[in-house]
Structure 1
Amino acid sequence: MTSASPRDEFHTAWTADRRANAAYPKSRFVLRWFRSAQRWRATRGPLARLVFVVVGGSYKVVTEGFMGIELPVSTTVGPGLRLRHGVGVVINPSSRIGANVMIRQGVTLGNRKAADDCPIIEDDVELGVGAVVIGSVTVGRGARIGPNAVVFRDVPAGAAVLSPASEVRLPVD
């Protein structure tokens, strides 16, 4: 069995990303650029390397420097990534993200001890606003991580992780 070419992988992933972000033009723009940079990074030859330097370099400068989205080209990301708003997203390059994952603004996927001590996010996971997933943990298929939740242990498939409780205090008369 032969593996798909970088061009075929680009088209498959981009088609799924485009469909998943139909109502989000900024997300479509960023993900198209991300997938293009990944394509050229995986393609061999001196021309491909030159194109990657231009596409990948401009992607990094604009998305990180101006848009506040750190989604490195070297990160393994499945098709159908849903990027909502995107601002403040920080993804460690050693993190792995499955298919049909939703990432909202302020999400961090990072290491805890070593540079490659990073999360694995399985398919169909939703990460709420400001969620932080740290260390070599696995977030199982279909799990939901609530807003501002901090995850540092494995999350089983289909589970929900709630954010810290909010306490409401009424004024004293």
Structure 2
Amino acid sequence: MNFFQFIFQDWESNKTSAKGRVIMLLFRIANFCTTRRIYYYLLFPYLVFYKILVEWFFSIEIPWNIKAGCGLRIYHGQGLVLNNQVVIGNYCTLRHCTTIGNKQLPNGTMSHSPVIGNYVDVGCNTCIIGNITIGDQVTIGCGSVVTKSVPANTVVAGNPAVPIRKLMQAVEVA
């Protein structure tokens, strides 16, 4: 994947949101440079610009070094906070006031961050924390607090989040 394909991989997913397009474009440029170890002293001014614009002006914390699959969609974006160890699959949707990160364990250390599968739809005001895995094609309802792993093809909601429905799996036709 060349530079332009890489930085525009989320363009179509965010076609209804100019803000989402700008944020994802800025994120992908920073992510491209940091994951390919472009000369850090040349990159440093851009990373400062990225941090000021995205975090301070857009109020979104998306560290430039997270692993995020293609087609990441940002709706509204205000108050979105991601830990730098989060892994996000392809074609996921994140809405405003969402936090995805680690948690402090009883012994004082920090847990690992969540791994989110492909085609996950995260509702607004959601908190996903801890060393958990969110399966593919999961829908997380608004206001949910997810602290346990969620199997694929499930709808979860609540505080704490519990499965409320199992989605139909696509059947391959031979």
1:64-110 per-residue CA deviation (whole Å, 9 max, x = no partner) reads 11211000001111110000011000000011111100000011001
Alignment equivalent of 1:122, drawn from 113, 117, 120: 117
| TM-score, length of structure 2 as denominator length | 0.83
Please say if 1:27 is aligned against 2:2.
no
CA separation in 2, counterparts of 1:124 and 1:13? 19
RMSD: 1.8
| TM-score, length of structure 1 as denominator length | 0.84
Change (3 A) 1:102 1:43: same
Match of 1:133 in 2: 128
Number of residue pairs aligned between Structure 1 and Structure 2: 156
Alignment equivalent of 2:99, drawn from 108, 123, 134: 108
Please say if 1:154 is aligned against 2:149.
yes
Match of 2:58 in 1: 67
Structure 1: runs of 5 or more not aligned: 166-173
CA separation in 1, counterparts of 2:133 and 2:80? 19
CA separation in 1, counterparts of 2:69 and 2:110? 21
Find runs of 4+ consecutive structure 1 residues off by over 6 angstroms. none
CA separation in 2, counterparts of 1:70 and 1:155? 24
1:157 deviates by: 0.2
Structure whose CA Rg is larger: 1
Secondary structure of 2:94's aligned partner: strand
CA separation in 2, counterparts of 1:119 and 1:140? 11
1:5-33 per-residue CA deviation (whole Å, 9 max, x = no partner) reads xxx2x434433300100111111001101
CA separation in 2, counterparts of 1:11 and 1:136? 33
- Provide the identity percentage: 30
User: Amino acid of the residue matched to residue 48 of structure 2?
Assistant: G
CA separation in 2, counterparts of 1:94 and 1:111? 8
